[in-house]
Amino acid sequence: MKSRDKKILRLIKIQIVLLLVVIGGVTYYYVSGYAAQVSELKTEANLLVRKSNQNTFRQTETSEVYDKKGDTISVLKGEKDVYYITYNEIPEDAIKALVSIEDKKFFEHNGVDYKAIARAAYVMIKDKELAQGGSTITMQLARTIFLSNEKTWQRKLEEIFIASELEKKYSKEQILEFYLNNVYFANGYYGMEAAAKGYFSKDISELDLAQICYLLAIPNSPTYYDPVVNPENTITRRNLILTAMKNDGVISEATYNKTKKETISLQRPDSIKNNYVETYVYYCATRALMAADGFEFKNDFKTDEEKGIYEKSYNDKYNECNQGLFTSGYRIYTSIDLDMQEELQNSIDKQLEEFTDVNEEGIYSLQSAGVCIDNETGMVNAIVGGRSQEVNGYTLNRAFQSFRQPGSSIKPLLVYTPALEMGYTPDTIVVDEKIEDGPENASGRYSGEITLRDAVSTSKNTIAWQLYTEITPDKGIDYLKALGFSHIGKEDYGMAACLGGFTVGVSPLEMAKGYATIYNDGYTREPTCILKIKDSVGNVIFEGNQEDVKVYEENAARNMTDMLQSVLTDGTARGTSLGDMPAAGKTGTTNDNRDGWFVGYSKYYTTSIWVGYDQPKKVPGLTGSSYPAAIWQDFMVKIHEGKLPAEFKKPVVVQDADEQEAGPEGEFGEFDQENPEVTDGEGTYQVITQTFEGTEVPEGVIPDNATDVQITTTTEPVVEE
């Protein structure tokens, strides 16, 4: 009896404690203001759904993109209105696949799967991160149409309220119809019919099970499962969908095995083929919208976990902003020069026209990419991601989406300019000799004592290796990270990097940015093409601000430019000139002639060129000085037509005391344009001619805001009256 009484007493105590907890929770719920917030969210959800009708799920606004002259480049619009399909037009396999992978209890719940939400909440508490798990198809529709992807408890709760109201107003079939016509399939495709036409050039009714599941793999993460950029990821999720269908019993084991083996080949329409400008503009505009919304970009991480968290956050925000790009009625103003774009495309096509082999998808096997940056603004004027051709096929913009080994073209960025900062000069004597356990020179020959200028111009691997040992890989790689190179991993902190050996590689866009930094006295700028973005009512929501970030010392950068001029006059790119226009540049060739690079610049433009196969293999005769240099020269000569030759800024020369004495002719540190006279220790002289940065100019033409002005003068004595 006593034992039973104790159990009853313990049970009563537990019930009292639980009651107190409930009372405390309810009290806190109301006192803290949560009750008012929840009530407001529920009221707003009811109002949104009550005002909705079938047209709500067909709305879209068209965005437009303009070049630097204000002419229209492209029109960005969601294709929901054009390709809207009814429930009866949706293949049964699509419904089965969608329900199996996204919401197994779709036909049973009333818009919300509370058990799934509880599981997601448990994961959130365990991992300390609010995930998207637990969302039903109806909740996803609510988020797509009425809400954002913001991860807060308020947004999640309102999503639940809206989903519940949607289920009261619309049938299950209507909800599936709305969902499959509004969900985002990457690359500007909204709705499954638009995706079917965009990726396979077919109506959805013509697709088989493998293709249907392939498309339905994309919306889970349109960036990660983008079939143009990450087709392997898309296949992996397609197979996951097939497995879910097999486990749910909606397809047989035989169908599963047969479908899983099917190869997917994209057949994209001619109208979007080779749209290199548009793909780059959309990428830059999306990132601009992310920045306008406060997203902070990073490329350096202390741990893999930190990197993983950042990448997930980046992809979520990118997807959100990219979707809005096609439906929000933006006006996007860019620095793209369509005339220069055409010239760059023509130069690539002309120099590689003898290579006619194509791959299984009909795309030219040997490819090229190029980027041109305006050195005055730091903005991209032209970007070409491959050769043009009249065939169907996917469009990969290799200029910023492909990463390859840069060979010796990387040396100025992480070896030679850093070495100049350490006190080396173009005239420093270095020893070119065989190094035990080190690299060989490409020629197999060694020259003994040579100047650093000669080592750069002839691309001596041994000298780069010796200097990089002194610089250390840690410090060398830090320069690339400061430049914003995006695919630098911990495996790249080795000696191989000084010769262009990286785990992933670099893009033509990144290389152009790096060399433009050298030209710009060591200051780097983000190579975007977005000048300004306005919303649908004309408000400026983003305006480009090219911030200069110091990477190299000014004098080191100027000396590097001076040495890179020798590459074109006496080195590996001898003969690759722009006529009277001073130019600097560097070749790069990887092992077995798999990649060829030429990156170079004048005072006006920086252009980088890459040539190689998408799947790296040997290209007979390919070096940086062959096809890449020829493309670079052909393009740069054309875009410099009509421009006055302009010398590069000269490095500051440290002189001995005797050399600093000024005579009646020479360099004077100060010069008054209003009173063209100069004075030294011996007298006053009248200026007869003057040279500004290497070019003879008449008096008074030097800009008032010019900095670091050095003027060479020719004078004659002033006769005192």
Give the pLDDT confidence score for residue 281 in this predicted structure.
95
Instruction: For the chain, give every domain's residue range.
Output: 2-32, 51-61+78-267, 371-527+546-639, 659-717
pLDDT 10s digits, 11-48: 776 777 666 666 655 565 455 555 667 777 788 878 88
Instruction: Report the alpha-carbon distance of residue 197 to residue 411 in Å, rounded.
Output: 45
- Tally helices (H) and strands (E) across the chain: 23, 19
Residue 620: is its pLDDT beyond 50? yes
Instruction: Report the alpha-carbon distance of residue 578 to residue 639 in Å, rounded.
Output: 10
pLDDT 10s digits, 175-201: 999 999 999 999 888 899 999 999 999
Give the pLDDT confidence score for residue 30 in this predicted structure.
54
Half-sphere exposure of 321 (CA within 13 A, CB side): 23
Instruction: Report the alpha-carbon distance of residue 519 to residue 557 in Å, rounded.
Output: 7
pLDDT 10s digits, 627-652: 999 999 999 999 999 999 999 999 98
Instruction: Answer with the residue of higher pLDDT: 116 or 353.
Output: 353
Instruction: Report the alpha-carbon distance of residue 76 to residue 547 in Å, rounded.
Output: 29
Strands 584-589 and 595-601: antiparallel
The architecture in CATH of the region 51-61+78-267 reads Orthogonal Bundle (1.10)
Query: SS3 of 298, please?
Result: coil
CB-CB contact of 505 with 409 (8 Å) = no
Instruction: Report the alpha-carbon distance of residue 420 to residue 552 in Å, rounded.
Output: 9
The architecture in CATH of the region 371-527+546-639 reads 3-Layer(aba) Sandwich (3.40)
Same fold yes or no, 51-61+78-267 and 371-527+546-639: no
Q: Give the highest mean pLDDT range of 62-71, 566-575, 691-700.
A: 566-575
Instruction: Report the alpha-carbon distance of residue 710 to residue 507 in Å, rounded.
Output: 37
Q: Which residues lie closer than 8 Å to 664 by C-beta, 6 or more apart? A: 680, 682, 683, 685, 715, 716, 717
Q: Which residues lie closer than 8 Å to 171 by C-beta, 6 or more apart? A: none
pLDDT band at 673 (very low <50, low <70, confident <90, very high): very low
Residue 130: is its pLDDT beyond 50? no
Q: Any idea which of 69-78, 119-128, 411-420, 688-697 has the lowest mean pLDDT?
A: 688-697
pLDDT 10s digits, 477-488: 999 999 999 999
In degrees rounded to 5, what are phi and psi of residue 303?
A: -135, 160
Instruction: Report the alpha-carbon distance of residue 30 to residue 33 in Å, rounded.
Output: 5
Angle subtended by helix axes 209-216 and 253-260, to nearest 10: 70
Closest CA to 438 of 365, 521, 379, 495: 495
